[in-house]
Amino acid sequence: MDTIKLENRKNRKVSKLADNIIGSEIIKIAGEVNEKIKNGEKVYNLTIGDFNSKVFPIPDELKKAIIAAYEADETNYPAADGMPELRQAVSNLLKTRGGLDYEPDQILIAGGARPIIYTIFRALVDPGDTVIFPVPSWNNNHYTYLNGANAILVETKPENNFMPVAEEIKPHIQKATLISLCSPLNPTGTVFTKAALTAICDMVIAENERREANEKPLYLMYDQIYWALTYGTTHHYDPVSLRPEMKEFTIYVDGISKSLAATGVRVGWSMGPQKIINKMKSILTHIGAWAPKAEQVATGKYLSNLTHYDTFLTKMRQQLNDRLLGFYHGFQNLKNEGFQVNAISPQAALYLTVQFSLHGQKTENGTSLVKTKDITKYILDEAKVALVPFYAFGSSDDSSWYRLSVGTCKMEDIEIIIENLRKALQKLKK
Looking at the fold, whether 44 and 156 belong to one and the same domain comes out as no
CA distance 280 to 310: 30
Looking at the fold, whether 141 and 198 belong to one and the same domain comes out as yes
User: What is the pTM for the complete model shown?
Assistant: 0.95
CB-hemisphere CA count at 13 Å for 297? 19
In tens, the pLDDT along 378-390 reads 999 999 999 999 9
- Using the predicted structure, report yes or no on whether residue 5 has a pLDDT greater than 90: no
Looking at the fold, whether 315 and 185 belong to one and the same domain comes out as no
CA distance 21 to 18: 5
Confidence of residue 278 (pLDDT cuts 50, 70, 90): very high
140 inside domain = yes
Q: What is the CATH number for 82?
A: 3.40.640.10
Q: What is the mean pLDDT of residues 191-205?
A: 98
Percent of the chain surpassing pLDDT 70:
97
61 inside domain = no
Pick the last residue of a domain from 269, 289, 305.
305
Distances (CA, A) of 380 to 57, 281, 288, 377, 420: 28, 44, 39, 5, 10
In tens, the pLDDT along 14-29 reads 888 888 887 777 777 7
Is residue 90 within 8 Å of 303, Cβ to Cβ?
yes
Looking at the fold, whether 181 and 47 belong to one and the same domain comes out as no
46 inside domain = yes
Looking at the fold, whether 232 and 270 belong to one and the same domain comes out as yes
Looking at the fold, whether 281 and 326 belong to one and the same domain comes out as no
Pick the last residue of a domain from 275, 305, 335.
305
28 inside domain = yes
Q: What is the CATH number for 341?
A: 3.90.1150.10
Percent of the chain surpassing pLDDT 90:
89
Q: What is the mean pLDDT of residues 1-15?
A: 68
Angle formed at CA 110 by CA 79 and CA 284, multiple of 5 degrees: 75
62 inside domain = no
176 inside domain = yes
Looking at the fold, whether 300 and 321 belong to one and the same domain comes out as no
Strand partners, 181: 222
Show the domain range for 163.
76-305
Helix axes 306-336, 84-97, angle to 10 degrees: 60
Candidates 349, 327, 183; CA nearest to 257 is 349
Is residue 278 within 8 Å of 251, Cβ to Cβ?
no
Looking at the fold, whether 315 and 300 belong to one and the same domain comes out as no
The pLDDT assigned to 26 comes to 76
**368 compared with 20, residue with greater pLDDT:** 368
- Using the predicted structure, report yes or no on whether residue 1 has a pLDDT greater than 60: no
Q: State the CB neighbour count (10 A cutoff) for residue 257.
A: 22
143 inside domain = yes
Pick the last residue of a domain from 305, 321, 352.
305
Looking at the fold, whether 122 and 195 belong to one and the same domain comes out as yes
- Using the predicted structure, report yes or no on whether residue 83 has a pLDDT greater than 80: yes
In tens, the pLDDT along 251-265 reads 999 999 999 999 999
Of how many residues is the chain composed?
Answer: 430
Q: How would you write the chain as a 3-class SS string?
A: CCHHHHHHHHCCCCCHHHHHCCCCHHHHHHHHHHHHHHCCCCCEECCCCCCCCCCCCCCHHHHHHHHHHHHCCCCCCCCCCCCHHHHHHHHHHHHHHCCCCCCHHHEEEECCHHHHHHHHHHHHCCCCCEEEEEECCCCHHHHHHHCCCEEEEEECCHHHCCCCCHHHHHHHHHHCCEEEEECCCCCCCCCCCHHHHHHHHHHHHHHHHHCCCCCCCCEEEEECCCCCCECCCCCCCCHHHHCHHHHHCEEEEEECCCCCCCCCCCCEEEECCHHHHHHHHHHHHHHCCCCCHHHHHHHHHHHCCHHHHHHHHHHHHHHHHHHHHHHHHHHHHHHHCCCCEEECCCCECCEEEEEECCCCCECCCCCECCCHHHHHHHHHHHHCEECEEHHHHCCCCCCCEEEEECCCCCHHHHHHHHHHHHHHHHCCEC
Looking at the fold, whether 279 and 142 belong to one and the same domain comes out as yes
Q: Which backbone phi and psi does 122 adopt, to 5 degrees? A: -65, -35
User: What is the total count of domains within the chain?
Assistant: 2
- Using the predicted structure, report yes or no on whether residue 77 has a pLDDT greater than 90: yes
Strand partners, 7: none
63 inside domain = no
Looking at the fold, whether 48 and 118 belong to one and the same domain comes out as no
As a whole number, the mean pLDDT across the chain is 95
- Using the predicted structure, report yes or no on whether residue 369 has a pLDDT greater than 90: yes
Looking at the fold, whether 298 and 321 belong to one and the same domain comes out as no
